[in-house]
Structure 1
Amino acid sequence: MNYPGYFLRHSNYDFQLARNGGTPRFAADATFRQVAGLADSSWSSFQSYNYPDRYIRHYAYQLRPDPITTTTGRGDATFRMNEPSRRRRAPGKGARGHRLRSRP
């Protein structure tokens, strides 16, 4: 993430990039547990902390916190973690982070 102090948070069944409000609700909305991939256990899925029946899923070029009930949903909620870039970044240009790639 190139926005220090901002986190991916779910709200009203949608995601937003939001500044940390410091509340317990914000912390719960911005916390996801990395679990074995729902479609491929060698990849990863991300389970919502405060809605454990929901996972980060890509759908129609957007991320959504959805319950996963179908084979298509399991594929859409399964990601491969790529290692951070080894390129040096200029000071103040954000931290190196992992990249996610969804299943084909």
Structure 2
Amino acid sequence: MSSPSACDGHRRSPRGAHRQLRTARLRPGPDRDLNRGSSAVLKNDATFTVRRGLSDSSCYPFESVNYPGRFLRHAGGRIRLAVDEGSALFTADATFCVRPGLGGTGVSLEPINQPGSFVRHVESQVSIAAGAGNGGNRPHTLSADSVGNLAAPWAP
């Protein structure tokens, strides 16, 4: 899915180039891969409801299926689940724009209030980065780690 506009209110499962984004990866604990035989809890963990943008109608928040009322939000460089407390900062932190994939395929998610930064998935951690730096924050590393797709949901 290149743009979720037709999917407002529909469920999607964000998948990175290497791994599935799940709410379990947003908190400490064992990391398990997902497959067709996985439990309903794990499948729900990997499924989010796409909502109309909180701070921009052309971009989207992602509400957890397992934790209704909790949204993906970036804070302190990390992606986490958070309850909408109604602040302007929350609406900006929880709104992501779907962009063409940085590596030339798929899509990348850009926080509306952090232009040039993208959601990335590295070693079971989900964060945002701009690809301007050393080590794992180099541009070519960011391109590989921030590309994925908003696939059909694991949970109906």
Q: When the two structures are superposed, what TM-score results if normalisation uses the length of structure 1?
A: 0.75
The structure in which a higher percent of residues are helix is 2
- How far has the Cα of 1:23 moved from its partner? 0.8
SS in 2 for 1:46: strand
CA shift digits 1:76-98 (9 cap, x unpaired): 0001222124x6xxxxxxxx4xx
SS in 2 for 1:26: helix
**1:78 match:** 147
**2:94 match:** 30
CA shift digits 1:31-54 (9 cap, x unpaired): 11001100123x110011001121
**2:108 match:** 45
After the TM superposition, list the runs of 4 or more consecutive aligned residues in structure 1 that deviate by more than 3 angstroms: none
Give the residue type in structure 2 aligned to 1:21: E
SS in 1 for 2:85: coil
Aligned length, in residue pairs: 86
Q: Structure 1 regions of 5+ residues with no counterpart?
A: 88-95, 97-104
The structure in which a higher percent of residues are strand is 1
1:6 to 70, 74, 82: 70
**2:122 match:** 59
Give the residue type in structure 2 aligned to 1:60: E
Q: When the two structures are superposed, what TM-score results if normalisation uses the length of structure 2?
A: 0.51
Q: Structure 2 regions of 5+ residues with no counterpart?
A: 1-63, 133-138
- How far has the Cα of 1:4 moved from its partner? 1.0
Question: What is the identity percentage for the equivalent residue pairs of Structure 1 and Structure 2?
Answer: 33
